[in-house]
Every structure is written in C-alpha cells, then in structure tokens.
Structure 1
Amino acid sequence: MFRKKSYLAAAALAAALSLGLSACGGTTNAGTTSGQHVFTVGMTLPTAQNSTIQAIADGLRAEIEQHGGKLITADSQLSIDKQIGDIDQFITQKVDAIMVFPLDLPTLKSVLGRADKAGIPLFAHDALMEDTGAQALAPIRAEVVTGRKQQAQEAAKFIAEKTGGTGEVGAIGIAAPVTTNIYLLDQFKEQLKAHNGLAFAGQKGNPTDDAAGARPLAEAFLTQYSALSAIYTYNDPSAIGAAAAAKAAAKSKKIIVTGFNASQDGLDAVKNGTIDATWDYKPVEVGQTLGRLIQTSVVEKKPIGHFYQMDVNIVTPENVASFVPWSERVKQIVEGKYLGLPIN
C-alpha cells in the first residue's frame, strides 16, 4: 500500500553511468573511471550500528549499482552536528544526489538548503511522518516513510488481545531526540487509548540502543508497576533485553513483549518464544524504492510523487518461518527484481 502526490521534478543532473563500488564516507565524489563520470549518491545514516538502517543502505546501494551508480555512506553516530557535517561534506564532494535519514529535520533545514542551492537533489527516509504536502517537505524532493502509525495501532491491538485487554503497558524508546522514535511512541500511547482496560505506564529511553541498555529499564517497570502486563519496544534488541528482565523476575509468561524491525536477533527471539512479536520494517524495500526514485527523477528526469508509505507486516511464531531474510531480498535486487513501491 502506498500514497503519493505527483509533482514535476525539477531538471537535475544527468550523467553517463558506469558501475561503481560502494564505499563508506570519507571518499571523494564519484570521480571518474577512465574519464567517465560515475553517478554518486551520498547517504547519511543516523547510526551505522543499527542493522535496520544498514539494510536500508544495502537496498539503496543494490538499486543504485543496478544502474551503474555508486553509494557513499556516512555515519552520524546519533549526533545532529555530525549529520550536518556529513551533508556539508557531500556538498563539497559534489555528489549527484543526497539521501538523508534525518535525526531532526528542522535542525537540518539550513544544511539541506545549502545542498539545494548547490543543485544537489535531496531525497529522504522518514523526514515527515505523515503527508502534509510537498511544500512542507521542501527542499527534499521525495521521501519514503515506514508505517509507524500502522505499527503502533497493530501493536496496541496485539497487546490487548494477548493480555486480555487489562493491565499496565510500559514503553521503551531510544534515549535520543530522534523524531521518528518520538512519533512512534506518541502514536503507540494514543492507540493504546482505544483499549480501555490497558493503562500506559510511561516510557523510558534506551541509552545504548541494545538489549543491555533496555534490560534495566524493563526491570524498573517490573518493580514500579505491579499490574504490568506488557512492554512495547521500538526495536528488537530492546525487546530482547525486556524479555530477559521479565524472565529473571519469573514473569516471562505474564508479560507480553513486542519488538520492531524484524532484525535477525528479533526473528530468532520470536522463533524461540523469547518475545511475542516483531514487525517487518521492510528496510531493503525502502532503500530500493529510494534508489528507484533517484534514478527516475534525477537521471531519467521523469516526474515522481513526493510521499510514499511502506506498510509493515507483523511477525509472530505462526508466520516467522515464511519470513524472507533481508540478505535474500538484496540478492533479488542484484538479480534485477524490483521489490519496492510503484513509482508512477
């Protein structure tokens, strides 16, 4: 499922394409290969340690390379200042397009304006969580968002069904002002209101983005709330950490734990019953869709929409065996298969 609003993409840089190897930030602009210009895309990652974000880059890289281009990535390490510096570096390198996964879009407006002034087309993942129009997104030409509102709604319903619709629910997000994370938890809190027997017990921030950081937060929920019946988390490592805390407290059968992203550790945890559910973020498809948008708009100079939404799928013990690994999806892209959203 997707939604879009079409507008005529401004004329952008067109280039003769030749196959380039993927690289990590710090390399120079797509220079030349035997005198031939290599079309280059610069991608800023909020954090390269996150497997989901890496899978987005893998999908984007596979699609770009299918058209003879090259992807350069830069790890912002959850620092907005570094993300600004990385985008400025892309401008200096004179890349042909920039894909940004913004830590905070308003703070990036100035540097994105500099990229736009330099004539570099901009594309984004989760810049604005909902479609509020092309003008609100400017100077970004198009974005692909993940269905976080959908996931929050489904997670609230899932928890209500599994808990019998009663108890208190704690939420774990990341301990950083990441817009997408704030939106996700706000949506979950709102969606939980539809289930009268469930009460929101508050949210805590994971300082290390992993299971170790989430476990003490879950332990605090278990200590503070005697009627705790579920813990909702923003990623699978946090769900695993929460489940470990519940097991140590001999409450693993009483506490429903959900994750998000369907990273390999999350899939394994669903299979062995450590956590109750996760959701497939479809990161490879997100990356490929962005790559196709860039190819269509910048190279082929064809019109595209400005807003595309990638819906997510729940993964439970009942359907986890049929899950197609992200690595397999990347292979399918390399073989020429398109897995993303329709562009036109």
Structure 2
Amino acid sequence: MYKIQMRLTGLFAAGAAVLLVAGCGTAAGSGQTDDAFTVGMTLPTAQNSTIEAIADGLRAEVENAGGKLVTADSQLQIDKQISDIDTFISEEVDAIVVFPLDFPTLKNVLERADKAGIALFAHDALMTNATPETLSPVRAQVMTGRSQQAEEAADFIEQQTGGTGKVAAIGIAAPVNTNIFLLDKFSQQVKQRPNLELVGQKGNPTDDAAGARPLAEGFLTQHPDLSAVFTYNDPSAIGAAAAAAAAGKDVVVTGFNASQDGLDAVKSGAIDATWDYKPVEIGQTLGRLAIESAVKGNEVGLNYQMDVAMVTKKNVDSFVPWDDRVKQIEDGKYLGLPIE
C-alpha cells in the first residue's frame, strides 16, 4: 500500500529523515545516465543494521544507473550531521542523502544545499502526509508505516494477553523524532484499549540488547504482573526478553525492523513478533526518485508510504533476507514503490 501526492519537481519542500540530491544527463530509454553522478548519504548512526540496509538499497539502485554512493556516519550527533552535509555541499556531490536526527536543527544546512542547486529527498520527513510548503525544500519523501506498526503491535499485544494487562515501552534515549513519533502512536493505541495499561516508557541509552535489559528488569521489579513490553527495535526486544526469562516471567515482547537478530529471536520463541521495516525497498525507492526527478527531470509524487509487515513464528521462514533483496536490485529488479 502506498500513498502519493503528485506535483512538479520544480516545487520544493522540507523535512526530517533521509534526504537526497542528484543531477545528470541520461541515456534515452535506459536507467543508465550519460555521466557518472555521486550521491552522499549521512547516516544518523552506522551501527544500525536497518539504516545500513537503506543505504544498501540506495547504493544498488544508484550504481545500476551508473552513479556512486558515499556515506558519512553522524554517530547520533546533530553537529556532526550538519558538518557532514556541509562537506557534501562543498565537495559538490550530485546527491546528498540524510536521515536527520532533528529536522528543525538541520533546516539551515538543508537550505544551503537547496541554494547550491542540490535536489532533496527525504525518508520519514514529517511521518505524515505533507504539503509542498511543509516539506520545503524537499522534493519527495518516503515514509515508513510507523503508525501502522504501532497499531498492529497494540492489536497483537491485546490478542496475546487476552485483552488485559500492563504494558511497558522501550524507545531510544536520544531525542530522535522518528522514535518519539512511534512511541507516541503506540501510547495512543494502548489508551484506546481500556483493559490495557501503559505503565511506563524508558529510553535505551546504548541502542542494543545490553542497554534494554536493565530497563526491562526495572519494569518487572516495579510491576511483577507486567504482561508485555513494546520496543522500538529488535535488539531492545531481545534484551527485554532476556530480562523476562531470567525473572521467570511469561511476557509478550515485540520488536521492530526485522533485523537478523530479531528474526532469529522470533524463530527461537525468545520474542513474539517483529515488523519488517523494508529498508532495502525504501533505499531503492529513494534512489529511483532521485534518478527520475533530479537526473531525468521527470515528475514524481511528494508523499510515498512503505507499509511494514508483521513477522511471527508462523511466517518467519518465508522472510526474504535483506541481502537477498539487495542482490535482486543489483540484478535489475525493482522492489520499491511505484513512483508514477
């Protein structure tokens, strides 16, 4: 399922997540360009496998068109992300991709990129359908189904707990807008279910299982009758599940992203569900948007939504690994969203 709002590529918009620029001639009737072009992508953190998979999908699509992708790791530091974007501007790359840590703080540097003639594209810029004015100077954004995941996770927890119980939530400790949005949406979903109670939310300081485990232990100590833990990523779900197992508690635990560790945990029964973020498809869609709009000069839409897919023990064996999807792109298959 996808949502598109069409507009001319000459319009500009603004946002906060993955941004991209490109510009070159093209060979008629071909995905290849007449001239090589370079895309620069600033990653909020290179330690996150989902973000790496977005870059992998983007790289495969760009390289298929004769371009090159270079990346920079912001290490969850907004000042470094600004510096990375300024570096790409000064190096006059043909494309810049950024998964912004905080859009308002990045607005000035994005405007500098726009003034330098760099076309911008975003991932989860505003996490809702946006207008050209609210997204300016971004040309198009690809959104992840975070609202969908929050609703499906609340439904799943309600079903698995029999509709009654206490629920805890674990997000990331850093003030990342996409995480704040996800946790807010989940909180709203729990409130709509009168027999579920959200007893607290904590931030994982290290973005891994080790950081999440003591948080889950704290919830279990404070609420011995805890029924479920909702987490923003699979490593946190694994940490929460380990805490529950050590305490001898039967707790429903959900993750997000469908990274390999999460898939393994679903297979073993350590966690109950995760959701496929479809990062490779997101990266490829962003690459195709850049090529079509900035390189070929074709019209594209403003808002595109990539739905997520729930993965449980029932369907985990049919999951197509991200590496296999990247290989399919390298072989010329398009897995992303329709952009026309």
TM-score normalized by the length of structure 1: 0.92
> Which runs of no fewer than 5 residues in structure 1 stay unpaired?
19-35
2:268 matches 1:259:
no
Aligned length in residues: 325
- Give the corresponding residue for 1:127: 125
1:19-30 equivalences under 5 Å are: none
Given the alignment, which residue of 303, 306, 309 partners 1:310?
A: 306
2:2 matches 1:10:
no
> Which runs of no fewer than 5 residues in structure 2 stay unpaired?
12-20, 28-33
| 2:22–2:291 Cα contact (<8 Å) kept | no
- Give the corresponding residue for 1:155: 153
- Give the corresponding residue for 1:235: 233
CA positional deviation for 1:96: 1.1
- Give the corresponding residue for 2:168: 170
Letter paired with 1:329: R
Structure 2: distance between partners of 1:126 and 1:78: 17
Q: Relative contact order (alpha carbons < 8 A, sep ≥ 6): 1 or 2 greater?
A: 2
| 2:173–2:204 Cα contact (<8 Å) kept | yes
- Give the corresponding residue for 1:33: none
Given the alignment, which residue of 51, 64, 67 partners 1:66?
A: 64
| 1:43–1:72 Cα contact (<8 Å) kept | yes
Structure 2: distance between partners of 1:136 and 1:83: 22
Structure 2: distance between partners of 1:172 and 1:305: 34
CA positional deviation for 1:13: 6.4
CA deviations over 1:233-289 (Å, ceiling 9, x no partner): 0000000000000000011xx200000000000000000000000000000000000
Structure 1: distance between partners of 2:234 and 2:23: 40
RMSD of aligned C-alpha atoms? 1.4
CA positional deviation for 1:95: 1.1
Q: Describe the SS at the equivalent of 2:122.
A: strand
Structure 1: distance between partners of 2:23 and 2:135: 23
- Give the corresponding residue for 1:105: 103
- Give the corresponding residue for 2:30: none
CA positional deviation for 1:15: 2.1
Letter paired with 1:15: C
Moved more, 175-184 or 191-200: 191-200
Structure 2: distance between partners of 1:74 and 1:255: 39
Letter paired with 1:317: K
Letter paired with 1:237: P
- Give the corresponding residue for 1:295: 291
Structure 2: distance between partners of 1:207 and 1:339: 34
Given the alignment, which residue of 157, 160, 180 partners 2:178?
A: 180
CA positional deviation for 1:37: 5.0
Structure 2: distance between partners of 1:99 and 1:140: 11
Letter paired with 2:107: K
Structure 1: distance between partners of 2:166 and 2:38: 49
| 2:26–2:296 Cα contact (<8 Å) kept | no
- Give the corresponding residue for 2:265: 269
CA deviations over 1:123-145 (Å, ceiling 9, x no partner): 11111110121210111111101
Letter paired with 2:323: S
TM-score normalized by the length of structure 2: 0.93
CA positional deviation for 1:84: 0.5
Structure 1: distance between partners of 2:133 and 2:75: 29
- Give the corresponding residue for 2:315: 319
Structure 2: distance between partners of 1:82 and 1:128: 22
| 1:99–1:125 Cα contact (<8 Å) kept | no
- Give the corresponding residue for 2:189: 191
- Give the corresponding residue for 1:41: 39
| 1:17–1:69 Cα contact (<8 Å) kept | no
| 1:16–1:39 Cα contact (<8 Å) kept | no
